[in-house]
Amino acid sequence: MQYLAIFASGGGSNALQIMEYFASHSSIKIALVVCNKADAGVLLHAQKHKIPSHIITPQCLQNPEKMLGLLGLHHINYIALAGFLKQIPAYLVQAFPEKIVNIHPALLPKYGGKGMYGMHVHQAVVANAETETGITIHLVDEVYDHGKHLLQKTCEVLATDTAADVAKKVLALEHAHFAPVLEKLILNP
Ligand code: GAR
């Protein structure tokens, strides 16, 4: 069995999709949800799916002993960042080389980097009158929004689209592709 942890900060619609996709998987189990916000919706999804969850402080995230202890306790060997808005510290990247996967709501390297998350990305895409945007699923390295791309998918941006319209299209792509990409990576590393 391969044990996947989901790190998330918000509503967790991607996390929920991943939980449902792997719910009765023969060789991949969602073993832990790690969240940095006590009131995040993702915690309710974890509870409903009977997945242990752990709320971490910024100090905890920077503490190798605590974090590696927590992940070790749950036998974690892969980590999916599903709307996790904190940078992953270098010690964690080194402990899980090519085993941490992030989803970004744009076509990196465009609209990446600090401050580019969630609706900020879609607002920038609309402000720049882009005609297409999309998603990037990538391995995590020590550089923010960097790392080998595993998949990019595009969608059209209409001149009449609002940032909320774009967010809807991008989320649909995320929900369709994140779990299968994780499955492929974990089963064929
Ligand atoms: C997703 O669109 C994800 O790509 C984005 O946050 C959203 C979380 O939605 N992540 C980033 O912007 C990371 N830079 P969700 O909580 O409904 O899954």
The CATH code of domain 2-187 reads 3.40.50.170
Q: From ligand 1's centre to the CA of 188, what distance in Å?
A: 25
Judge contact between 126 and 159, C-beta under 8 A.
no
- Look at residues 39, 52, 57 and name the one whose alpha carbon lies nearest to residue 6: 52
Cβ–Cβ < 8 Å for 177, 145: no
Q: State whether the beta carbon of 117 lies less than 6 angstroms from ligand 1.
A: yes
CB 130 within 8 A of CB 157: yes
Q: Which pLDDT does position 189 carry in this prediction?
A: 80
Cβ proximity of 128 and 162 under 8 Å: no
Cα(174) to ligand 1 centroid in Å equals 9
The vertex-59 CA angle with 8 and 31, nearest 5°, equals 40
Give Cα 134 distance to the centre of its chain: 15
Ligand 1 close to Cβ of residue 105 (< 6 A): yes
pLDDT value at residue 136: 98
Tokens of 7: 């790190």
Ligand 1 atom nearest the C-alpha of 117 is: 12
Atom of ligand 1 nearest to the CA of 11: 16
The catalytic residue among 25, 49, 74, 104 is 104
Q: Is 25 assigned a catalytic role?
A: no
User: Is the CB of 12 within 6 Å of ligand 1?
Assistant: yes
Annotated domain spans of the chain: 2-187
How remote is the CA of residue 38 from the centroid of ligand 1, in Å?
17
Per-residue pLDDT of the chain (189 residues; tens, 9 = 90+): 999 999 999 999 999 999 999 999 999 999 999 999 999 999 999 999 999 999 999 999 999 999 999 999 999 999 999 999 999 999 999 999 999 999 999 999 999 998 999 999 999 999 999 999 999 999 999 998 999 999 999 999 999 999 999 999 999 999 999 999 999 999 998
Shortest-distance Cα residue to atom 11 of ligand 1: 117
**Cα of 113 from ligand 1 centre, angstroms:** 14
Quickly count: other Cβ atoms within 10 Å of residue 147's Cβ: 20
- Shortest-distance atom of ligand 1 to CA 16: 18
What does the DSSP assignment read for 135-167? EEEEE--SSTT-S-EEEEEEEE--TT--HHHHH
